[in-house]
Amino acid sequence: MKPLLKRLGLQGRTAVTAVPYLWLLLFFLIPFVIVLKISFSTSQIAMPPYEPLLQWTGDKVMQIKLNLGNFAFLVEDDLYWKAYLNSIWVASVSTFFCLLLGYPIAYAIARSNPSARNILMLLIVLPFWTSFLLRVYAWIGILKNNGLLNNFLLWIGAIEQPIQMLQTDFAVYVGIVYSYLPFMILPLYANLVKMDLTLLEAAADLGCKPWQGFLKVTLPLSLPGIRAGCLLVFIPAVGEFVIPSLLGDPGMLMIGKVLWTEFFNNRDWPVASAVAIVLLLFLVVPMMYFQRAQDAEAGGVHR
Amino acid sequence: MNQGRNLFRTLVLILGFAFLYIPIVSLIVYSFNSSRLVTVWGGFSTKWYGALLHNDQILNAAFLSLKIAAISATLAVVLGTLAGLVLARFGPFKGRTLLSGLTTAPLVMPEVITGLSLLLLFVTMEQIIGWPAGRGMTTIVISHITLTMAFVTVVVQSRLSQMDDSLEEAAMDLGARPHKVFFLITLPIIAPALMSGWLLAFTLSLDDLVITSFVAGPGSSTLPMVIFSKVRLGVSPDINALATILVAIVAVGVAITGIMMARQQQQRERDAQMALAANQQMIESVKKG
Amino acid sequence: MATSPRATQQKFEPWTDPHAKPYVRIEKVTKKFGDFIAVDDVSLSIYKKEIFCLLGASGCGKTTLLRMLAGFERSTSGRIFIDGVDMTSIPPYERPVNMMFQSYAIFPHMTVEQNVAFGLKQERLSKDEIGSRVNDMLNLVKLGQFAKRKPHQLSGGQRQRVALARSLVKKPKLLLLDEPLAALDKKLREHTQFELINIQETLGVTFVVVTHDQEEAMTLSTRIGLMNHGEIVQVGTPSEIYEYPNSRFVSEFIGSVNMFEGRLVEDEPSYVRIGCDDLEAPIYVNHGVSSAPGATVWAAIRPEKITISRDKPDVADNWASAVVRDIAYMGDMSIYLLRLDSGKVVRVTQPNIYRHAEDRITWEERVYLQWYPESPVVVTK
């Protein structure tokens, strides 16, 4: 009802809108168009290592050469679709465990003493302020064969031989859950802490046992938080590169790694672009979903 | 029953925080290990810190990373504040949905995609307009701004939507023009959010590996790139020392903020008492007539 | 209903003077938000030194109208003049109008003094002048000793005064107040109402107040503009609005009322008789009504204008018989809910004149209602 800057100082308003808008168009949207373009070109040994799509062949003829080969390649070589499926699988499993771990933590913090809440939340996000790379690195020291965890298990006698944990899928799951846990907890906490606790009292008053109250009141009301948290973990996890390369088996198929390899090792930019385009297609639906949730959360804007 | 619930809560929190903090603690502990085999204890030593100080590669990379982080965080705050202002205050307009999409997408976009697309943009731009010539600090800074301004936008937008917009109207009503309203009223009130936005952007920039790897040129290796190439080959104790220093910096920063927050809390309590006393006084004067 | 302090003063009725020039003129103003019509073809004249209240339920368009006076919203059509100057396209920061916001909108990062000085600084006045005007204003609202405080160190009532001082210090031609007392607790509210009137009279500023609280409107205002669905339905002094509502809506909105639907059976210039299916006897009203004979009309009778007795009145008109359904003892008066034989429930209030009355009318008793011919108001819409 009151976007008042709207009519006042229209000039200033246009400029204020234009600056971030143009920046994002140029450095975020247009690059995707270029990726799309290059995914249709042919690799060549040159700099840049791809052929242009448009070519003048003389005599006022402009030739557009669309090479669909890169996409055909992705379909023919089962390495790619296996990598896509595996990435989605790994991201889904990790998201699930993130939720399984993050929900009780977020719940416990949201139901703590108000004065303790802020400190506890600070402790949740604190690791985020230290380097992500170094935190993933720490798990190498914990998971490797003569690492902390194996030594501990040997010491308490749970195992007799060190078990191979590093360079397994397990290590990747641990790494993703560990790194992305704060992203799950934050929206969940924000949701749970807002909940009106008298609703639970009302449920109890009407005959709900505590666990029923949780299932029938708390859980449904926290769905937006669950949704936001899961998307915030799932989408980037699908394209994760650092964690599988440091903790996973070198042969593990993750699409982020495949893209990286195509680009840096094989220097095949067109195929790397095609890989990126297909990955983007997989993620466009969850991302739009996330954007809608985010906009609804920002709320009150469309008065 | 209540006790059972408390116990459950405590247990969850202990396990959760153990999971979050054991890796960090292990990093710190083993940075003081004299043995090169990081996880075998060979006695207390600070030699890896010494080694770190003489490692020019790491020091140079750290300096470059700090420089990039400071520049890109500052510019990201400027751009992110504008975008947040547009989204929170300008109401519906044509293209608003696209803008809000463009500001939230980088939050979750897999970094390999963002990195690749930015690189291809830079290459194309160089072909067409000759700028940016080659890749290096400029391209890294641009990429980091694009990534981190999304986070700043979210912070600013949510702060603005909590802010009572009649404050801005009141300033305008009292004769301040729109740009003055922004600098005299809006900016001072959202300043703490801008500060935390800056810190967030700074940290993200300092930490970014994937996008940076795509858009960096030869000779512009940032700290995460150096760390990554080292840890790919296995654990290395000077990295532990580096991690410890980083954790120490963050811990000191948090301690200072914590103390400041406690002070503010005390001040707020005093103020609340004052307001209460003032209220009492007022009611008395009303009673007297 | 609290009595207006204006009642004791000499007559201030510029709207009755055909030569008086309106200070604020709203001409056929309409405001649409998309398809929604927030303000619908409103025309109003407000005179200098008035306290004009825009009264209505939430969503009736009163706040939008106020915001158009302030310049925050631009009218879709129509024009607004203040002191003869067309304000339609003048932005808020150039209008000789100030507003006191419902939330008070006190700048949290400035002291009381800085808040009050803000508007004067925008005018680039000299430091000395700003200082003395701020000082005078703070003394007027009795906040002199709190000048250096930050807003969160103040009570709600004090914040309200800061907001008032801040909007008055610029000596606006027109002060707009958006629900000025809604955030105060009840005791303080009544006290502040009178204080607000005193300040208004001291400074001679014209006030336009938006409120949803009819009691507040009655106490504060010289005139009330009652709004519904974006339209002004009646403009008048508080007593005109209460005693001479021009429609069913107005009479039902202000206070409570018993509404009897009927037809005109006798229509003379000096009196009318209305036949009503709910009543045994016709309603006799001692003034004429401009309506076609046989048309449906409504007779509105206020609860305090009906008397109850056990004896059947010996008159032809203006009585009814009923059974007592409910009695609510309120201290100063009692409310009776009486059911007519038709089933319609009538509300009657009676002052409790005697501390202890034996033989009070009680539940399930049959009683007779009666009212004077001048009591009903006949409305045709």
**Range of the structural domain that residue C332 is part of:** 256-379
Chains that touch A (3 or more CB pairs under 8 A): B, C
Q: CB of A90 within 8 A of CB of A173?
A: yes
Between chains, do A131 and B246 touch, taking CB under 8 Å as contact? yes
CATH number of the domain that residue B114 is part of: 1.10.3720.10
Asked if B207 is an interface residue toward chain A (Cβ–Cβ < 8 A), one would say yes
Strands C223-228 and C51-55: parallel
Q: Which of C248, C271, C302 is the last residue of a domain?
A: C248
Judge if C204 and C260 occupy the same domain: no
Cα separation, A245 vs A254, whole angstroms? 9
Q: Which residue of A has its CA nearest to B84?
A: A20
Do C278 and C229 lie in one domain? The reply is no
Give residue C7's pLDDT band: very low, low, confident or very high (50, 70, 90).
very low
Is any Cβ of chain B less than 8 angstroms from the Cβ of C363? no
Q: Cβ separation of C74 and A7 shorter than 8 Å?
A: yes
Q: Could you read off the pLDDT of C212-227 as tens digits, one per residue?
A: 998 889 989 999 999 9
pLDDT of residue C2: 42
Put simply, whether A60 touches C (Cβ < 8 Å) is no
**pLDDT score for A91:** 95
Interface check for A8 against chain C (CB to CB < 8 A): the answer is yes
> Using CB atoms, which residue from A4, A12, A20 is nearest to B169?
A4
Inter-chain CB proximity B185 and C119 less than 8 Å? no
Which of these, B179, B154, B148, B168, lies nearest to B70 by C-alpha position? B148
**Do C182 and C298 fall within a single domain?**
no
**Residue B92 has which token pair?**
């519906």
B286 vs C79, higher pLDDT: C79
Maximum alpha-carbon separation in chain C? 78
| Nearest by CB: C118 against B171, B272, B278 | B171
Give yes or no: residues C210 and C280 share one domain.
Answer: no
Q: State percent of chain C over pLDDT 70.
A: 96
User: Nearest Cβ partner of C105 from B169, B184, B283?
Assistant: B169
B84 vs A24: CA distance, rounded Å: 13
Residue A301 has pLDDT above 60, yes or no: no
pLDDT value of residue A125:
87
Q: Which helix (H) or strand (E) holds A10?
A: helix A10-24
Residue C1: predicted pLDDT: 39
A77 at interface of B, judged by CB pairs closer than 8 A: no
Q: Is the ipTM beyond the 0.85 threshold?
A: yes
Distance from the Cα of C140 to chain B's closest Cα (Å) equals 15
Helix or strand (DSSP H, E) at B19:
helix B2-31
Is pTM, for the whole model, over 0.80?
A: yes
Nearest CA-CA partner of B84 in B186, B169, B185, B223: B186
As a whole number, mean pLDDT of residues C372-376 equals 90
Whether residues C72 and A1 touch (CB distance < 8 A) is answered with no
A7 in contact with chain C, both atoms CB, cutoff 8 A: yes
Q: Which of A99-103, B89-93, C154-158, C315-319 has the highest mean pLDDT?
A: A99-103
Residues of chain A positioned with their CB less than 8 A from the CB of B120 = 31, 34-35, 38, 269, 273
Residue A2 near chain C (CB below 8 Å)? yes
| Per-residue pLDDT tens over the stretch C61-75 | 999 999 999 999 999
Per DSSP, A33 falls in state H
- End-to-end C-alpha distance for chain A, whole angstroms: 5
CA-based nearest distance B170→chain C, Å: 6
Give the separation between CA C228 and CA C239, rounded to whole angstroms.
19
Q: Give the single-character DSSP code of A111.
A: T
CB of A127 less than 8 A from some CB of B: yes
Longest distance between any two alpha carbons in chain B, whole Å: 83
Residue owning tokens 């690195």: A137
* Cβ contact, residue pair B283, C91, below 8 Å: no
Phi and psi at C239, nearest 5°, equal -75, -35
Instruction: Please check whether residues C268 and C226 belong to one and the same domain.
Output: no
Identify the domain boundary among C248, C277, C303. C248
Q: Is residue B23 part of a domain?
A: no
| Neighbouring C-beta atoms of residue A269, cutoff 10 Å | 24
For residue A47, is it within any domain? no
CA distance C323 to chain A (A): 40
Among residues 94-123 of chain C, which lie with CB inside 8 Å of chain B?
Answer: 94, 97-99, 101-103, 105, 107-109, 118-119, 122-123
Q: Rounded to a whole number, what is the distance in Å from the CA of A35 to chain B's nearest CA?
A: 6
How much is the pLDDT for B1?
47
Q: Do the chains contact at B227 and A137, CB–CB below 8 Å?
A: yes
Q: In this structure, is residue B35 part of a structural domain?
A: no
Per-residue pLDDT of C253-297, as tens digits, reads: 988 999 999 888 888 888 888 988 888 888 998 877 776 667 788
CA dist A74 and A278 (Å) reads 9
A5 has pLDDT over 50: no
Output the average pLDDT for chain C: 89
Q: Do residue C206 and residue C352 come from a single domain?
A: no
Q: Using an 8 Å CB-CB cutoff, list chain C residues near B186.
A: none
CB contact under 8 A, C152 and B188: no
pLDDT value of residue C172: 92
- Residue A2 to residue C67, Cβ atoms within 8 A: yes
User: What is the pLDDT, as a whole number, of residue B287?
Assistant: 65
Query: pLDDT per residue over A188-233, tens digit each?
Result: 999 999 888 888 888 888 888 888 888 888 999 999 999 999 999 9
- Cα A146 to the chain's mean position, in Å? 31
Task: Choose among C275, B40, C159, C80: nearest CA to A148.
Answer: B40
C315: helix, strand or coil: coil
Measured over the CA atoms of residue C92, residue C98, residue C104 and residue C105, the dihedral's sign is positive
Contact A21 B91 (CB under 8 A): no
Residue B132: is the preceding peptide bond cis (ω within 30°)? yes
CB-based contact A8 C33, cutoff 8 Å: no
pLDDT band at A298 (very low <50, low <70, confident <90, very high): low
CATH code, A139: 1.10.3720.10
Q: In the numeric block, which tokens belong to residue C94? A: 């150039």
> Do C191 and C212 have their domain in common?
yes
pLDDT 10s digits, C108-147 = 999 999 999 999 999 999 999 999 999 999 999 989 999 9
Instruction: Give the E-state strand segments of chain A in sequence order.
Output: 54-56, 62-64
- Specify the range with the lowest mean pLDDT, choosing from A44-53, A124-133, B202-211, C369-378: A44-53
In a domain, C127, yes or no: no
- Average pLDDT over every residue of A136-156: 87
Residue pair B7/A96 in contact by the 8 Å Cβ criterion: no
CB-based contact, B123 to chain A, within 8 Å: yes
Residue A1 is predicted with a pLDDT of 34
Tally of domains in chain A: 1
Q: Range with the lowest mean pLDDT among B80-94, B115-129, C150-164, C356-370?
A: C356-370
Sign of the dihedral defined by the CA atoms of residues A257, A261, A263, A264, in that order = positive
Q: Is the pLDDT of residue C356 over 80?
A: no
Q: Which of C248, C269, C296 is the last residue of a domain?
A: C248
- Tens of pLDDT along chain B (289 residues)? 466 778 888 999 999 999 999 999 988 888 888 877 666 777 788 888 888 888 888 999 999 999 999 999 999 999 999 999 999 988 888 889 899 889 888 888 999 999 999 999 999 998 888 888 888 899 999 999 999 999 999 999 989 988 998 999 999 999 999 889 999 999 999 998 999 899 989 999 999 999 999 999 888 899 999 999 988 887 778 888 988 998 898 888 888 887 887 888 888 888 888 888 877 777 777 666 5
CA distance C349 to C360: 14
Q: Between chains, do C103 and B180 touch, taking CB under 8 Å as contact? A: no
- The CATH number of whichever domain residue C294 belongs to comes to 2.40.50.140
Residue among C122, C146, C188 minimizing CB distance to B175? C122
Question: Residue A25: its chain B contacts at CB < 8 A?
Answer: 102
Q: Find the residue in B nearest to C93 (Cα).
A: B175
In chain B, what residues touch A43 (CB-CB under 8 Å)?
none
Residues of A in contact with C33 (CB under 8 A): 1
Interface probe for A, chosen from B3, B120, B166 (most Cβ of A below 10 Å), is B120
Any idea what the CATH number is for the domain that residue C234 is in?
3.40.50.300
B79 is in which domain, residue-wise? 54-237
Contact by Cβ (8 Å): A178, B23 = yes
Does residue C319 have a pLDDT over 60?
A: yes
Do residue C371 and residue C281 come from a single domain?
yes
For residue C370, report the phi and psi dihedrals to the nearest 5 degrees. -150, 150
Whether C50 and C33 share a structural domain: yes
**AA letter at C177:** L
Q: Grade residue C17 by pLDDT with cuts at 50, 70 and 90.
A: confident
pLDDT value at position C190? 84
Instruction: Tell me whether residue C25 is in a domain.
Output: yes
C64 touches chain B (CB under 8 A): no
Q: Does any domain span residue C313?
A: yes
Beta strands in A31-162 (DSSP E): 54-56, 62-64
Q: Cβ of C33 and A1 within 8 Å?
A: yes
Closest CA to C179 of C160, C166, C197: C160
Nearest to C211 by CA among C188, C180, C189: C180
Number of domains in chain C: 2
Residue contact C72–A4, C-beta within 8 A = yes
Which distant-in-sequence residues (6+ apart) come within 8 Å of B271 by Cβ? C150, C152, C153
* B contact chains, 3+ CB pairs < 8 A: A, C
Residue ranges making up the domain that contains A92: 77-267
Looking at the predicted structure, is the pLDDT value of residue C4 above 70?
no
Indicate if C89 and C49 belong to the same structural domain: yes
**For chain B, how many structural domains are there in total?**
1
Distance of CA B45 to the CA centre of its chain: 33
Residues 6+ apart with CB under 8 A from A209: none
